[in-house]
Structure 1
Amino acid sequence: MIVDRLRDHRATVLSSPLPSQKNVPITTATAASDPSPTPPTPPLSLADYAAKANRFDECRSAQGSLRTCWKSIADEVASLGQSGLNDRESQIEQLIRENGSTFQVDTGEGTQTRPWQLATVPIAIAEQDWGRLASGLTQRTRVLEAVLADLLGPQRLLRERVLPPELVWDNPRFLRVYHNLPVSAGHRLHLTGFDVARANDGGWWVTGDRTRAPSGLGYLLENRIVHGRVFPHLSRTANVRRLASFFGVMRSHFRSLAPHQNNNPRVALLTPGQGSYRDFEDAYLARYLGYTLVQGRDLAVRGERLHLKTLGGLLPIEVLWRHVSDRKCDPLELDPQSSEGVTGLLRCKRGGQLAVVNSIGSVITEMPALIPFLPAAAKLLLGENLQLPSVATYWCGAAKERQYVLDHLDELVVRDAFAVNDTRPVIPENCTADEKHALIQQIKAEPNRFVGQQRLSHSVTPVWHQERFEPWHVSLRTFVLQTNNSVEVLPGALARVSPNEDLLSNSPVQGQLSQDCWIVSEKPVDHETTLLKTDHSTIVLRRSGAELPSRVAEHLFWLGRYVERCESIARLLRTTLARLAGEDDLSELPEMSRLVAALAAVGQLEPDYVIEGLDGAMPQLDSVLPSSVLDTSHPRALQSAILSALSNATAVRDRISLDAYRIFQSVHADLAGTKRNVTPNVSRALERLNRLITHLLAFSGLTAESLTRTHGWRFLLLGRRLERADQTAELLLATMTRPIADEVGMCEAILDATDSLMTYRSRYLSLLRPAPTIDLLVTDETNPRSLRFQLNDIQQLLYDLPTDPGRVALGADERLARELQHPLLIADVATLTEVNSSGKRAQLQQLLELVQEKIPLLANAIAGRYLIHTAPEQTLTGDREQTLDEPLLPPDESQG
């Protein structure tokens, strides 16, 4: 029986109680009363860090000597010392923030996005030691491939009772539609992940198989790149096996899967989308590998071919690397509620017109309940003994194993038998009596749904924590690529470390500290860079742009709007705060009342400040305005616009440059990350606004000088032009339509808030008057800040966007743009400046109100023509008009 075979492993895999973590200082400080000079601080040494008793140490041997593969790291640690390591730790944190590397943390009340966590010092494993593990992983990949082929084919394992039929027929993740689906290049498993750990004797154990779409590959790559930047000399001289060759082989293999075998097939990475735990990693991998990042709504099936929907038409996709759950891939034949896949995907697969990585249905072989049956399956299907042992696993569907689990609950971890990450594993030892009783009743009621697994004693590795080295437990996620004629094991792994080894049983993207994993060779490894064959295939030259997916165009459009919104609000706030910080009394600044009205109009102040008689009862502006810079509660506040801009930039980070994305990360870190215990004041607010405007101008410079003039650039610029026209009209309505006695200060403030003051002075010197101010901001076609400039640019951008060649009439968006443009073309500045008997500039007010009325309609018309099919109708955050908003996507239910 299974229990008899697995009980022999208990002595090795059962964990001992976690020792207490005592703060043992590395050095002892000299007593303050000692008059003698302070002795020099001894150099840090990895050989001296506090070990953990009865645990395999990755860094030191059982005799306490440093392992050879750690020598280069130990030398670097000794040369850097405590201050140097602290400095490297800060550099790593900064690089991760700049790169926007994030992961999803399960807080128990939902998920929260946090920066990725990378340890300062890597973990080193000798190449010879790694080779033994790689050999076992290679065989295990072939075994799982054979098992999957059998379960989705002849099902010999079930007929000969090697596997209990309940593992398939009771498995909610097995669907009959998976049976006999065509395979690509003879394989169903192309990229496989394995979670492995070392027990106390130093032997490798597999704790889980990931055959659907293993996560962590992008984080592993990010860890290596960040460490390479922080320790550039060390990574080159320590004989560390490189990762690039594995990714090169993977890219070549995916290309070879294309059914039509053209030289440069389109490979798309299908991601669940924003809000998914895979959000960062999928964008990172797509950018690194040069793949098209797509969501289900970007795709369409025509006949038996899968296509990418773009503004210029449909583009065929040959290979789909899916990171979407099996049952969500095709709402027609699988889950009808799914919005992550595409209708007709299985039809493409059956017709042989599409390669899917990994094959749909591969989720079956990652179920924990399969683990105890793998040795027998390997013997039957391949005639081989399984090289790598698995963590002792007991399926409760068998009576003897179920009784063993119930008798030894405190020694085990209880998991779902069929899924790896839908629910967290239960550690009965940590449960209350009532929780344990409820668990026992669940196991007895539905035994097929549960497995019990022994709690492994993970090996330990030194981790730089709180300015000293501590021995933390380590677990590895390894990756294996199965090509047409070989199996490639990635020379490295995603290492996770924790002082509490029970936490390592969770998903690798659930928040444990990670480490870069180095496979150290005894010889230099430079020759590995020449292993890949050079591709001499010809690429047809072209000018791209029409292949822009509508979803990406939508996010770029809203990115442009929110960036412009941030800048307009920030400039107006800065102009007003600068006057608050000046020497003049507010009663001596007649323009202040109009600036306050403008701030209320754009949602930065309560409307009560504008109502005569109520403003005196409101809090002072010098306390309210600085606080509004950091306000996150109001939907129209500056912070809301910043977060919305960051959200849209995140959605298209595979389409914008890293420098552009880092700008938004810096903006968010500077404002959203400001310490809440610091009392805001005018000076601090002005400083933050200056930095924000500088960052936004840097983004404008990047888009102007680095973004190719494709449709993506046009949608980004369209968003900016529409929002700038709207914000400028709003500002002028609040300030210039009802003149005040002395408009000099008012004109100066408006010109300052619209970044037009220097232009004005270069033309008219210091003589400030309403007429030239209105001309510069309304009718001057040469000023990039004027209303006329925005409408002229919008007209040209719409003209350059793709149009149905059979249509001869203007579209609704083009008609609205011309209706807006015409009044600005014929406007007379003298007429706009005239004040009527009611004390208003009626013509100016009428023109500005027309702009404010038509801009939302124009935005809707553009969305209706190009974007509306990508998401439900929504609204700009906190704005008055009903337009499109950000698509809200449900998170994927399974994390692998």
Structure 2
Amino acid sequence: MPSGDQYDECRAADGTVRPAWKSLISSLDDLGPAGISKASHEIERLVRESGANFQFADIIKRSARPWKLAAIPLVLDAQKWQLLEAGLQQRVRLLEAILGDLLGEQKLLKAKVLPAELLSANHNYYRVYHELPQTKLRLDVTATDLARDKDGTWWVTGDRTRAPSGLGYALENRIITSRVFQKLLRGNNVVRVASFFSALRQHLNSLAAGSPENPRVAILTPGQHSYRYIEDAYLARYLGYTMVQGRDLAVRGGKLNLKTLGGLLPIDVLCRHISDRKSDPLELNPSSQQGATGLLQTIRSGNVAVANSIGSTLAQMPALMPFLPAASKFLFGEEPSLPSIGTYWCGGQSERAFVLEHLDELILRPAFYVSSEPPISPDEMTAAEKSDLVDQIKAQPHNFVAQHRPSRSSTPVWHEGKLESWHVALRSFQVQTADGVEVMPGGLARVSPDPRTLDQSPTSGRLGLDCWIANDKPVDHEVTLLKQSHAPINLVRGGAEMPSRVGESLFWLGRSAERSESIARLLRATLIRIAGETQLEDIVELPRMVAALAALGQLEPDHAIAGLGEKLPSLEKVLPESLFDAEKLGGLLAGIRDMGEKAMSVHDRVSLDAYRIIKKIGDHLVRDNHSDATDIAAVINRLDGIITDLQAFSGLVIESMTRTHGWRFLQLGRRIERAYQTAELLSAMLVNPIEDESPVLESVLQTTDSMMTYRSRYLLQMQPTAVIDLLVNDETNPRSIMYQLLMIDQHVRELPSDHHEVGLGPDEKMARKLLHCVTMDDPAELSHANARGVRVSLNELLTKLTNELPDLSDAITARYLIHTGATVELTGRIDPIASRPGSAGSGAIIPKLPNVE
């Protein structure tokens, strides 16, 4: 906890509440502990449901948000903020000038204001940075990490000039807090942040060549496994931009293009959230897959604007900080009004001597790059570790900077039902435009009882806070990000402009959702029978259901082999445990995990309601009570919830998704998977009939959710011909194979096609042939069993479907999605490598992936 000599943001040294806090403290007193706790729980709920916080509990092992959002904001006085704002603006202009000089005339190096080693010894510097043309500003969006000293002075602890993270979380903090404390915001005259994001969007739009009225701006994210992916998706949704990954981009004719289903669309402005050296594998890091091959040439051609500019990482290197005052004096004839924390570059002889002499009083960082790792703390090292560190500094002194550990102010935090005082760190954000530098009013605040955990950012800290700039007079509440354009707008119907990668992810999202539902229904039907009063050996349909579960990957195949199953653990034990088994690569947990992965990959394309449903589905498989693994009734209840929520997801897709190509790909995934799953089920259950087939037929109807339809037509009469007709040939039954093939045929015909192509495409031909095959089959013939007790015609049809549906999936992939990655080769078997969590094809038709170096 903070000691008494720390600067208290809320109270003065005599204990009185600071003016900016008076209204808030009064309101909190009126709320009382119960009211604050209620608001805190509401904030927790909104954070869980927020589009910037989607995560899959324990199903997907990823922390989407590094810390929770606290209820009580950090409040700063508007007049004092203006002084800090002026210092931040001056610092941005200084960093812009230094970067321009380093990549231009290099007067600072020639005059020895900056040591030449800042470039010559810097592995993050590429000569090509120096050669890129620059007609506009290099630093469009920047961030500054701040700490407040004991006397209330603000110190800069670090700069972020490449692609600062945290802006989306700061926005999310404000949106959530304003929903819970709307009256408090107005009562405290809190300055709004919408004007900052409006300025950001106007500036990015203005970067387009010729300043078109409606430029295509894309946010380039490192990918869904990056810590900043969710934040990028949140920002893209809020700003109305397209979020892209490297494989969505193609350089053609000196222009940067977005690869879409309808062809290539030129990108005017690229808001880059990947590192400089990964931006172009042709001229920079050849192993990078995050950028676009040939991007630097498009910049030279002036056909795309990139924000921030390539090479901007040089302005954030910690080794630059000690030289900022001298550089400011040299370039502008003025001292920086906002000081940096004491920083020493070990490449200087006297500085190195000082660092080695005061090692225990300092922390050390890499000199040339910003690291997400915590700084080195010599005072926490053993004697041997410290000796090794000294040797490293002496051997490569230019690679280290040392800093004084910042003193951090404290602020009130509501934690576990009471007010506590925690240390605070603040990250401010700036957008530099042609008219000047606009600072976001507030920023991203993080708090922790241990100040050392705040020395790394932005993922450190225990709690996040909204930051309020409180004015002494009412502020404008009507600022909005959405400004009306006076120019006429061309009305369009979207779809063909969708990136092919998005179509691929939606296709597999549909596959995974349908696969999960099929397994859940069959598993539930099986467990219901096991939980009944009938002895297992008397349940005649049970061996067929176990065989079907084994075919889908939910059970080990040995359970379906007569004689072997008796030597294995009992079904009463194995089946409930299989629900939570992460090692079942083709099982229910894998399918639901893959749903989450695919939804994550199109985060900016799926509604928040859909995310909430998917998260809820995943929550059913978080085993918070280990006794559930042996409690069949509890497992059945969980399966009830999973199936209900999967149906809700399906209904949301039907009722809420615009009928664009994205919706068609998702539907194609569902229909192909459902047809395949039904064919597999019927093959396991009906090809080899038993003498009394009624229980088997009933289990098939229950598993396919077709019992009600069957009963309404045939009452209690259970006949195989009628069941096969309903599940294979009936075009009115949305669960039948015929219905799936009709929908597949319709959807592939509606996908974009080459106007020069004559006749049907290969995918259309396959879909039409399968549809014709099922249309021409007769239910009576399919249900007929030969003298050996085999339904030969049914077996031939189902074998054809399970063999050719994967080929149809391949054909769709090859025609529309091939340029987004490796070809997905589909087989009808469980492939333990291809079906691993997060792979492109965790589904019943498992993709076989090629070797990738």
TM-score range, shorter chain: over 0.9
Q: Against the structure 1 CA distance between its residues 531 and 618, is the aligned structure 2 distance closer, same or farther, given a 3 Å change threshold?
A: closer
The C-alpha deviation readout for 1:390-420, integer Å capped at 9, x for no partner, is 0000010110000000000111010111011
Q: Counterpart of 1:893? A: none
Instruction: Return the match for 2:795 from 822, 845, 858.
Output: 845
Aligned residue number for residue 251 of structure 2: 301
> What corresponds to 2:762 in structure 1?
812
2:236 alignment partner AA: A
TM-superposed deviation, 1:878: 10
Query: Is residue 2:54 matched to residue 1:54?
Result: no
2:657 aligns to what? 707
C-alpha contact (below 8 Å) 1:249/1:532 kept by paired residues: no
Is 609-618 or 336-345 further displaced after alignment? 609-618
Q: 2-side partners of 1:373 and 1:477: how far apart?
A: 22
Rounded Cα–Cα distance in structure 1 between residues aligned with 2:811 and 2:629: 44
- Corresponding residue for 1:263? 213
Structure 1 residue ranges without an equivalent (≥5): 1-20, 22-50, 105-109, 889-896
Distance of aligned partners of 1:176 and 1:677 in 2 relative to their CA distance in 1, 3 Å threshold: farther
Residue 58 (structure 2) aligns with: none
| Number of equivalent positions | 833
1:75-125 Cα distance to aligned partner (Å, 9 max, x none): 343233333333333333332222364599xxxxx9865664212221111
Residues 670/876 of structure 1: CA separation in 2 closer, same or farther (3 Å cut): farther
> Could you tell me which residue of structure 2 aligns to residue 684 of structure 1?
634
Q: For 1:403-446, what per-residue CA distance to the aligned partner results, in whole angstroms no more than 9, with x for missing partners?
A: 00000011101011101116531011111111111111000000
Out of 46, 69, 73, which is 2:20 matched to?
69
Determine the C-alpha separation between the residues in 2 that align with 1:832 and 1:346: 62
Q: For the structure 1 residues 845 and 674, does the alpha-carbon distance in structure 2 shift closer, same or farther, using more than 3 Å as the test? A: farther
| Partner of residue 222 from structure 1, selected from 160, 164, 172 | 172
The whole-number CA distance in structure 2 between the counterparts of 1:100 and 1:317 is 25
Bigger mean CA offset, 250-259 vs 228-237 = 228-237
Give the alignment of 1:236-251 within 5 angstroms: 236-251=186-201
Q: 1:113 to 1:484 in 2, by over 3 A?
A: closer
Which residue matches 2:682? Answer: 732
Offset, 1:595: 1.3
CA offsets 1:546-587 (integer angstroms, 9 cap, x no match): 011111111011000000011111111111122223343334
Q: State the partner residue of 1:40.
A: none
1:777 is the counterpart of 2:777: no
Q: Structure 2 CA distance, aligned partners of 1:206 and 1:875?
A: 53
Is the contact made by 2:76 and 2:467 (CA closer than 8 Å) also made in structure 1? Answer: yes
1:575 aligns with 2:525: yes
Please list the CA deviations of residues 805-845 of structure 1 after superposition, one character each: whole Å capped at 9, or x if unmatched.
Answer: 21214332222222322220101011011111111111111
Moved more, 645-654 or 590-599: 590-599
Check the 8 A contact 2:51/2:234 in 1, yes or no: no
Q: Is the 8 A contact 2:447 2:461 kept in 1?
A: no
Contact kept in structure 1, 2:509 and 2:669, CA below 8 Å: yes
Deviating more after overlay: 428-437 vs 465-474: 465-474
Instruction: Specify the alignment match of 2:326 in structure 1.
Output: 376
Q: Is contact 1:218–1:282 with CA below 8 Å preserved after alignment?
A: yes
Q: Deviations over 1:204-258 (max 9, x none)?
A: 0001011100000001111112222233332333211111111011111111111
- Alignment partner, residue 891 of structure 1: none
Residue 344 of structure 1: how far off its partner (Å): 1.3
2:149 and 2:128 map into 1 onto residues whose CA distance is 40
User: Mind listing any 5+ residue stretches in structure 2 that lack a counterpart?
Assistant: 56-60, 841-853
Q: Which shows bigger deviation, 256-265 or 868-877?
A: 868-877
Match of 1:540 in 2: 490
Kindly indicate whether the alpha-carbon contact (under 8 Å) linking 1:137 and 1:388 is maintained by their aligned counterparts in 2.
yes
- Partner Cα separation in structure 2 for residue 877 and residue 446 of structure 1: 54
Say which SS state the counterpart of residue 411 (structure 2) adopts: strand
User: What is the DSSP-based 3-state SS (H/G/I as helix, E as strand, rest coil) of the residue aligned with 1:526?
Assistant: coil
Alpha-carbon distance change, 376 to 323 in structure 1, aligned in 2, over 3 angstroms: same
User: How far apart, CA to CA, are the structure 2 residues paired with 1:567 and 1:705?
Assistant: 19
| TM alignment of 1:364-763, pairs within 5 A | 364-421=314-371, 423-510=373-460, 512-527=462-477, 529=479, 534-672=484-622, 674-676=624-626, 678-763=628-713
Secondary structure in structure 2 of the residue aligned to 1:249: helix
CA distance in 2, matches of 1:822, 1:719: 20
Residue 786 of structure 1 pairs with residue 736 of structure 2 = yes
What's the CA shift for 1:534?
4.3
Contact 2:6 2:407 in 1 (8 A): yes
Matching residue of 1:354: 304
- 3-state SS of paired residue (2:226): coil
Residue type matched to 1:255 in 2?
A: N
Per-residue CA distance 1:141-192 (angstroms, 9 max, x = gap): 11111111111111110111110111111111111111152335x3111111
Relative to structure 1, is the Cα distance of residues 766 and 84 closer, same or farther in structure 2, using a 3 angstrom cutoff? farther
Q: Distance in 2 between matches of 1:380 and 1:532?
A: 42
Residues 676 and 289 of structure 1: CA distance in aligned 2, closer, same or farther (over 3 Å): farther
Normalization by structure 2: what TM-score? Answer: 0.94
> Which of 121, 130, 141 is equivalent to 2:81?
130
Deviation at 1:300, TM superposition (A): 1.0
Match of 2:850 in 1: none
What is the aligned counterpart of 1:254 among 204, 208, 217?
A: 204
Change (3 A) 1:111 1:287: closer
Contact 2:216 2:266 in 1 (8 A): yes
Q: Distance in 1 between matches of 2:117 and 2:723?
A: 79
Distance 1:482 1:298, change over 3 A: same
Shift of 1:501: 1.0
Q: Which moved more, 1:191-200 or 1:871-880?
A: 871-880
Which one of the candidate residues 820, 824, 836 is aligned to 2:786?
Answer: 836
Question: In the alignment, residue 767 of structure 2 is paired with which amino acid?
Answer: A
Q: Distance in 2 between matches of 1:335 and 1:180?
A: 17
CA contact (8 A) 2:73 2:467 kept: yes
Is the 2:278–2:285 Cα contact (8 Å) retained in structure 1? yes
| Percent identical | 54
CA distance in 2, matches of 1:793, 1:296: 33
In structure 2, the residue corresponding to 1:262 is in which secondary structure? coil
Cα distance in 2, alignment partners of residues 113 and 322 from structure 1: 21
- Specify whether residues 657 and 552 from structure 1 end up closer, same or farther in structure 2 by C-alpha distance, changes over 3 A only: same
Contact 1:774 1:829 in 2 (8 A): yes
Q: Is the 8 A contact 1:473 1:497 kept in 2?
A: yes
With over 3 angstroms needed to count, the CA separation of the structure-2 counterparts of 1:163 and 1:115, relative to structure 1, is closer
Provide the C-alpha distance between the structure 1 equivalents of 2:725 and 2:780, rounded to a whole number of angstroms: 9
TM-score, with structure 1 as normaliser = 0.90
| 1:89 counterpart residue number | 40
Contact 2:161 2:313 in 1 (8 A): yes
- Provide the residue aligned with 1:282 in structure 2: 232
CA distance in 1, matches of 2:184, 2:269: 38
- Structure 1, 555-564 or 114-123: larger mean CA deviation: 114-123
Question: In the aligned structure 1, how far is the partner of 2:182 from the partner of 2:418?
Answer: 23
